[in-house]
C-alpha cells in the first residue's frame, strides 16, 4: 500500500530505483516512468549511485527508508545475490541478481530478469521461435551466465559458448550441462556451419573491440544480437553487417523487457513494452 503524505493527505508514491556505479546514464528511470504512467501506478523511480564498498550497507538503508524494490546493475549484481535473503532459481543459477523485492515480512527476494528480457525480446518483439535453433554465444562472463538458463529452457538444438579464455566457457557450460546441449570452445575453434542466432555477451564492444572470428559462422538466416545497447553501430554489429547477417540487432529490447519483468515482480502487472521501444527509437 502507498503511504499517506502527512501534509496534504495524498497517497505518497511508492519508491523504487536502480543501484549502480556509475549510473547517471541509465535509461531505467525513463522506462519505469513510462510503465508507471501506462499502468496508473503511483510510484517514483530514482537513481542511486553507490560505490562497491558501500553497497552492502546502503541497500538495507534504502529499504529501511521506504524503498520497496531495486534494480541492480554493474558492478553490484553479485553483491546483490549475497544480500538477498531468498533467491529465485534463475538468479541462483545466474549467480547474479538484477532485481530486489522487499516483501511484507521484511525478507528480500533476489531475482534475475536479464535472461527473460533477452528471451522475450527475441520471441515477442523479434517474433522468433528459439526451439531447435543453433545458437552461438560469444563471452562467458556475468552477462553470458545471466542468460544461459532462460535460453536453454527454450529447447534449443544446441548452445555453443565461445570465449577468449576457453577455460571460462568450459566452466560455464559445465554448470549448465543438465539444462540442454551445451558446448564450449575458444574463438579460433568455433565449429560451423552458420548459426541461427549469434549473441554477443562479451564486453569487447565497450572497449571498441571485436574478437577475431572465422568466416562461415553467419548466413543469410542468421540473427546477430549484441546484448550491448547504445547509439549507432558497435564493433559486433559492424562485423555482423559485413558478414551479411540476415538481421542485426542491439540489446534495447532486452533492456526494456528485463525492466518490464522487474516491474511485474514489484507491481504484479507486465506493462506493454511497445510504446517504450517506440519512444526510445530516436536514441538507438
Check binding of 112 to ligand ATR (CB under 6 A).
Answer: no
Check binding of 127 to ligand ATR (CB under 6 A).
Answer: no
From the candidates 24, 37, 57, 77, which is the catalytic residue?
77
Check binding of 207 to ligand ATR (CB under 6 A).
Answer: yes
Least distance between ligand ATR and beta carbon 163 (Å) = 5
Give the DSSP H or E segment for 267: helix 252-267
Taking CB atoms within 8 Å and a gap of at least 24, the contacts of 99-102 are: 99/69, 99/70, 99/71, 99/72, 99/261, 99/262, 99/265, 100/59, 100/69, 100/70, 100/71, 100/72, 101/68, 101/69, 101/265, 101/266, 102/63, 102/67, 102/68, 102/69
Task: Return the DSSP state at 107.
Answer: -
Binding to ligand ATR by CB under 6 A, coded x per residue (else -) over 7-26, reads --------------------
Check binding of 230 to ligand ATR (CB under 6 A).
Answer: no
Residue 43: which residues within 8 A CB-CB, separation 6 or more? 13, 14, 15, 16, 32, 36, 267
Check binding of 95 to ligand ATR (CB under 6 A).
Answer: no
Choose which of 211, 235, 251, 271 interacts with ligand ATR (CB under 6 A): 211
Nearer of residues 149 and 211 to ligand ATR, judged by Cβ: 211
Check binding of 203 to ligand ATR (CB under 6 A).
Answer: yes
Check binding of 202 to ligand ATR (CB under 6 A).
Answer: yes
Q: Are strands 158-163 and 134-138 parallel, antiparallel or unpaired?
A: parallel
Check binding of 186 to ligand ATR (CB under 6 A).
Answer: no
Nearer of residues 211 and 271 to ligand ATR, judged by Cβ: 211
Check the CA dihedral 81-82-83-86 and report its sign.
Answer: positive
| Grid cell digits, residue 96 | 547474479
Nearer of residues 166 and 275 to ligand ATR, judged by Cβ: 166
Q: Decide if 29 contacts 20 (C-beta within 8 A).
A: no
Binding to ligand ATR by CB under 6 A, coded x per residue (else -) over 129-168, reads ----------xxxxx-------------------xxx--x
Is 77 catalytic? The answer is: yes
Contacting residues toward ligand ATR, per CB under 6 A: 139-143, 163-165, 168, 202-204, 207, 209, 211
Amino acid at each position: 500500500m502507498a503511504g499517506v503524505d502527512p501534509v496534504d493527505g495524498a497517497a505518497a508514491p511508492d519508491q523504487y530505483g536502480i543501484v549502480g556505479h556509475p549510473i547517471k546514464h541509465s535509461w531505467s528511470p525513463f522506462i519505469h516512468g513510462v510503465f508507471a504512467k501506462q499502468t496508473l501506478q503511483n510510484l517514483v523511480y530514482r537513481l542511486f549511485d553507490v560505490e562497491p564498498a558501500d553497497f552492502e550497507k546502503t541497500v538495507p538503508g534504502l529499504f529501511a527508508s521506504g524503498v520497496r524494490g531495486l534494480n541492480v546493475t554493474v558492478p553490484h549484481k553479485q553483491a546483490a545475490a549475497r544480500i538477498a535473503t531468498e533467491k529465485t532459481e534463475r538468479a541462483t543459477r545466474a549467480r547474479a541478481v538484477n532485481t530486489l523485492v522487499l516483501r511484507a515480512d521484511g525478507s528480500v527476494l533476489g531475482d534475475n530478469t536479464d535472461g527473460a528480457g533477452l528471451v522475450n525480446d527475441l520471441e515477442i518483439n523479434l517474433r522468433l521461435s528459439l526451439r531447435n535453433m543453433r545458437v552461438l554465444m560469444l563471452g562467458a562472463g556475468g552477462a553470458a551466465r545471466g542468460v544461459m538458463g532462460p535460453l536453454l529452457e527454450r529447447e534449443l538444438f544446441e548452445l555453443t559458448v565461445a570465449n577468449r579464455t576457453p577455460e571460462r566457457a568450459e566452466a560455464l557450460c559445465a554448470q549448465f550441462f543438465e539444462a540442454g546441449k551445451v558446448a564450449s570452445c575458444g574463438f579460433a575453434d568455433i565449429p560451423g556451419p552458420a548459426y541461427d542466432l549469434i549473441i554477443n555477451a562479451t564486453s569487447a564492444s565497450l572497449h571498441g573491440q571485436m574478437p577475431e572470428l572465422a568466416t562461415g559462422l553467419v548466413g543469410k538466416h542468421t540473427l546477430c544480437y549484441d546484448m550491448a545497447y547504445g547509439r549507432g553501430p558497435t564493433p559486433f554489429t559492424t562485423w555482423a553487417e559485413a558478414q551479411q547477417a540476415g538481421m542485426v540487432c542491439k540489446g534495447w529490447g532486452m533492456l526494456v523487457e528485463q525492466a518490464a519483468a522487474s516491474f511485474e515482480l514489484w507491481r504484479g502487472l507486465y506493462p506493454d513494452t511497445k510504446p517504450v521501444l517506440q519512444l526510445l527509437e530516436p536514441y538507438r
